[in-house]
Amino acid sequence: MSLDQASELRRLVSQGDRAAGKGKPARVLAITSGKGGVGKSNVAVNLAARLATMGRRVVLMDADLGMANADVLANVTAKANLAHVVAGRRRLDEAICEGPGGFRLVPGASGLAQMANLSEFERARMVELMRHLDASADLIIIDTGAGLSPNVLSFVLAADEAVVVTTPEPTAITDAYAMVKTISRRKECATVNLLVNMARDRAEGRRVFERINAVGRRFLGLSLRDAGCVLADPKVAHAVRQRKPFVLDDPDCPASLCITQLAHKIDRHASAPRAKGFIRRMANWLAG
Ligand SMILES: Nc1ncnc2c1ncn2[C@@H]1O[C@H](COP(=O)(O)OP(=O)(O)OP(=O)(O)O)[C@@H](O)[C@H]1O
Ligand SMILES: [Mg+2]
């Protein structure tokens, strides 16, 4: 992208900020992980549903561009997805669906070109999309794919906070640490939360947190924020088969109680001041 194009993009974005007419940009949480299959999408969908039932305006953006599935978990059939919008084939309002509990979902796209390779037009569409989300939500939750790919990192680094999800398995712990390390190297003063999913009990969750936090402190000089744990619960798989968030299906099951606790924790931090809006950071990144 040329310098001219980059400044045009920034101009577009600042216009959007003014048009939105709000001093307080949406808070953006990126839910991510090193290893795949640790429960990011389930956490993201259930957290979105829970926060929505608490009266927050929540948008869940499925940014897994390889194997998007938040729409499947939320039992939403989308007429359009992120790829259609970015390509200019559909309007954003055609891609936003109402999810269970009242959150809004921007379904992801399987097979969208690598973000780094998007055309100039596609980049501009992406900024337009972000601008709209920023103006109409209290909280944007991004469900990313797993691993240290540029796509995942772009969203994680543009977000206000990362929630790195791990399980107690040694392989997941190692990969979570690699993700924490990458974030801390690429972004000074990053706020990184660690969530231990599928813990046998809270003590196990706590042990995993302490272990990763101790290594992070020693070698990266970074203190992780403890997002707590989500207990391993057969209700999760059951709810996936029913295509209904477990927090709505069975609000009192162990996994639901953990998500509720996490939702309150996130809500308590909601008033923390933020320097820049998400779209602004995203635009800076998009503009290279
Ligand atoms: N707390 C839990 N208790 C029991 N099973 C769980 C729990 N959380 C997730 N699972 C199961 O783990 C599997 C993977 O979950 P999910 O798809 O949310 O992971 P993911 O991290 O989003 O995967 P990917 O990296 O492929 O995007 C699902 O089959 C789900 O049922
Ligand atoms: Mg997923």
Tokens of 153: 């990192």
| CA gap 40, 30 in Å, rounded | 10
Angle, helices 150-158/278-286, rounded to nearest 10 degrees? 140
Question: Residue 265's pLDDT is what?
Answer: 95
| CA gap 236, 143 in Å, rounded | 17
Read off φ and ψ for residue 127, nearest 5 degrees.
-65, -40
Q: How far is the CA of 257 from the centre of ligand 1 (A)?
A: 17
Residues around ligand 2, an ion, CB closer than 5 A: 40-41
With beta carbons less than 8 A apart as the criterion, state whether 176 and 33 touch: yes
The answer, yes or no, to whether any atom of ligand 1 lies below 6 A from the CB of 38, is yes
Per DSSP, 62 falls in state E
Q: Which of 264, 195, 194, 198 is nearest to 235 (CA)?
A: 198
The answer, yes or no, to whether any atom of ligand 1 lies below 6 A from the CB of 142, is no
Residues 6+ apart with CB under 8 A from 163: 29, 30, 31, 32, 43, 193, 194, 195, 227
With beta carbons less than 8 A apart as the criterion, state whether 208 and 242 touch: no
Residues of the chain with pLDDT under 50: 1, 18, 20-21
The answer, yes or no, to whether any atom of ligand 1 lies below 6 A from the CB of 198, is yes
With beta carbons less than 8 A apart as the criterion, state whether 126 and 278 touch: no
Ramachandran quadrant class, 88 (left: phi over 0; alpha: psi -120 to 50; beta: rest): left
The answer, yes or no, to whether any atom of ligand 1 lies below 6 A from the CB of 235, is no
What string of H, E and C letters represents the secondary structure of 191-226? EEEEEEEEECCHHHHHHHHHHHHHHHHHHHCCCCEE
Ordered structural domains, the chain, with CATH? 3-286 (3.40.50.300)
Question: Residue 15's pLDDT is what?
Answer: 56
Tokens of 181: 């390390």
Tens of pLDDT, residue by residue over 172-200, are 999 999 999 999 999 988 999 999 999 99
- Please report the atom of ligand 1 found closest to the CA of residue 234: 4
Closest ligand (CA of 36) = 1
Question: Residue 194's pLDDT is what?
Answer: 98
Per DSSP, 166 falls in state E
Sheet holding 97-98, edge to edge: 97-98, 104-106, 58-62, 139-146, 27-33, 161-166, 191-199, 225-231
Q: Which of 46, 57, 28 is nearest to 140 (CA)?
A: 28
